[in-house]
Structure 1
Amino acid sequence: MKLYTKTGDGGQTGLYGADRVSKAHIRVEAYGTVDELNSAIGLARAHNGRSHQPHAALDADLEYLQNALFDVGADLATRTGTPYEKNLSRIDAQDVAFIEAMIDRYADGAPPIRNFVHPSGTLTASALHLARAVARRAEREVIRLLHEEEANEQVQIYLNRVSDLLFAMARAANHAAGLQEEQWAVKGRR
């Protein structure tokens, strides 16, 4: 089987259920940004695995997130009300609660936050901060989608929590490495 199909050469792609839409359609933008987020998490996993002290629990949680993001992408690629819905698992409140429990666990792994911090630190933490920013963009794309057509509202909530989780993971990774976070210095206050 060849990797290329040539079916998208005209600027169209297929949603799950055979609907053809523009590759610039807001739904495609949303699940495309989720794919980008998944790749950014893969980069964070690669940095974690190459660090002096890789964190096995962090890697396992990031692998979970990567798998879950494929579910998010499938959710976004399948219009509500199609017969294809029965073939996938929609993101729901239980998925959101699971991420919230992970956030609490990672937040306990760093000192309380009192100021804005720079998105920096170890390579792992920096990659997690980058993934967090992509998660925020994915959330914004889903909000745009929700304004234009019917979609699963839980996906937007889920992506909001994923960005919070990635922030908490980045802070915990820096703390575990013994790095003190750089705080935002308001212009003129040095």
Structure 2
Amino acid sequence: MRKRYFETPFIPAQIDAFFTCLFTEIVAKCAGTSWSSKETLITVSDPKALPGDFKGSKPIKGDKFGHRIAFPAAWLNLEFSKEGYFQIPADESGERKPPRSLTESVSEALRPHVDAGFLSNKKAAEIFGLSEQQLARKLRKEGTTLGKLLADLKRNRAEELLKEGDHSVTRVAEMLGYSDATSFAHAFKGWTGIPPSKIKKDI
């Protein structure tokens, strides 16, 4: 049995609802103009976990075996149109975005945890669901390290907190997991070339 690195923050009903939404969307895309909520029966462990009028249908409560989607067998013979379905999403300028890199994904996943106390390499890897060695190896292929990512995240968050003006240097140091303001000031100056107190004075 594989070791589980962290506990999921989602309750089973939410997970069930997520996959219900995912698979229902796939069925709807495949059915195209033939889609009809009246011909579709969606069963989920807790209907309250879904929007009240989900896809025009009213999901019913199922059992412990999770979600089920019933639809006409004739839909299986429909020709699936790939047009506009497998395209990379466009940004506001209309340009297609390239696939997200692992570096971007890791940074986004860790950002909410930066000012929740000391965030070590090991803890960061656990949050992302990998061992420290696995994550380090994957990031190395993209030319970066977990240590650099964490330093960038801490620097950016430190600058945000200091510029907000609501926190002292000592408090920011505590939020970012430093043992004292001196250690934080040393790290901050290494990142930016200036002491954190300078940021506070310039506000």
Larger RCO, structure (CA 8 Å, separation 6 or more): 1
Q: Which has the higher helix share?
A: 1
Task: Mark yes or no: TM-score above 0.5.
Answer: no
- With normalisation by structure 2, the TM-score equals 0.23
- With normalisation by structure 1, the TM-score equals 0.24
